[in-house]
Amino acid sequence: MLTLLLTGFLTFTRPQDLRQEQGLAGQLIANQLAPATEYGVINGKLDTLEIPLPFRPCSTQAPDRDGQPLTGGNGQAVLLVEDNPVKQTVTEAMLRSLGYPVSLAGDGQQAVQNCSRHDYAAILMDCRLPLMDGYEATRQIRQLQQCQQVPIIALTANALQGDREACLEAGMNDYLAKPFKRADLQRILLRWLPARP
């Protein structure tokens, strides 16, 4: 179930308007609203909208660009570090549908604390975080004995070459630009976490 916190800043008149938005959340909301109402107007004070998400593990996997089948996570735990609640919910749902158990952290300090207490197969790290940004969090995580070899994948809206270099210099292994699709997320995780037999 996806729960959205809606304020007067979000206004749309038709489900088709949401479909034009990039990203998975707009598509899902539009698809859920379309059968229920011809017009959906959200404005005024604070409201919530709950929408069931149709995520489930796939029994068949689409092939990747090389024609090889994409496989699931097979229970390899992933730490998702993301401060935006909607992006956190959507990415968590993607990961779970791919077979990855997910732990969540909303800021860099919490990510470091989680890594000191638990073992993860991979870490998805947003770069812009409150309290401690993703770069500093990565540097501190790399100082933990058990996390020196854990793949850390940067999640950022900045797609400039300099940003990629900053991620790698901080100790991250790879880079995934937002917005990304489920197949993009799956592909990059399989690059760093080969499927278990």
Q: What are 107-161's pLDDT values in tens digits? A: 999 999 999 999 999 999 999 999 999 999 999 999 999 999 999 999 987 656 6
Q: Is residue 21 part of a domain?
A: yes
Find the range with the poorest average confidence among 27-41, 104-118, 164-178.
Answer: 27-41
Tell whether omega for the bond before 179 is within 30 degrees of 0, i.e. cis.
yes
Indicate if 162 and 123 belong to the same structural domain: yes
Strands (E), 31-167: 47-51, 78-81, 102-105, 122-126, 152-156
Q: Is residue 60 part of a domain?
A: no
Q: Is residue 73 part of a domain?
A: no
Indicate if 172 and 92 belong to the same structural domain: yes
Indicate if 156 and 87 belong to the same structural domain: yes
| 60: Cβ contacts below 8 Å, ≥ 6 apart | none
Element (H, E) at 6: strand 2-6
Indicate if 32 and 101 belong to the same structural domain: no
Per-chain mean pLDDT for the chain: 75
Q: Is residue 136 part of a domain?
A: yes
Q: Is residue 61 part of a domain?
A: no
Q: What CATH number is associated with residue 86?
A: 3.40.50.2300
Q: CA 183 from chain center: how many Å? A: 12
Calculate the alpha carbon distances from 13 to 17, 42, 146, 156 in Å: 7, 8, 51, 30
Indicate if 45 and 91 belong to the same structural domain: no
Calculate the alpha carbon distances from 91 to 43, 62, 135 in Å: 26, 19, 20
| 12: Cβ contacts below 8 Å, ≥ 6 apart | 18, 40, 41, 42
The range of the structural domain enclosing residue 17 comes to: 2-51
Question: Hey, what are 2's tokens?
Answer: 């996806």
Q: Is residue 28 part of a domain?
A: yes
Q: Is residue 197 part of a domain?
A: no
pLDDT at 68 over 70: no
The domain tally of the chain equals: 2
Indicate if 136 and 40 belong to the same structural domain: no
pLDDT of residue 26: 54
Q: What are 85-97's pLDDT values in tens digits? A: 999 999 999 999 9
Indicate if 31 and 113 belong to the same structural domain: no
Q: What is the mean predicted confidence (pLDDT) over 34-56?
A: 45
Q: Is residue 66 part of a domain?
A: no
Indicate if 84 and 14 belong to the same structural domain: no
Find the range with the poorest average confidence among 43-47, 77-81, 111-115.
Answer: 43-47
Closest to 188 measured CA to CA, from 144, 154, 140: 154
Q: Which tops the pLDDT comparison, 1 or 187? A: 187
pLDDT at 12 over 50: no
Indicate if 24 and 84 belong to the same structural domain: no
pTM for the model stands at 0.65
Indicate if 109 and 154 belong to the same structural domain: yes
Indicate if 11 and 96 belong to the same structural domain: no
CA-to-CA distance for 64 and 69, rounded, in angstroms?
Answer: 6
Find the range with the poorest average confidence among 43-47, 60-64, 188-192.
Answer: 60-64
Q: Which of 13, 33, 51 is the last residue of a domain?
A: 51
Q: In what order do the strands lie in the sheet with 102-105?
A: 102-105, 78-81, 122-126, 152-156, 174-177
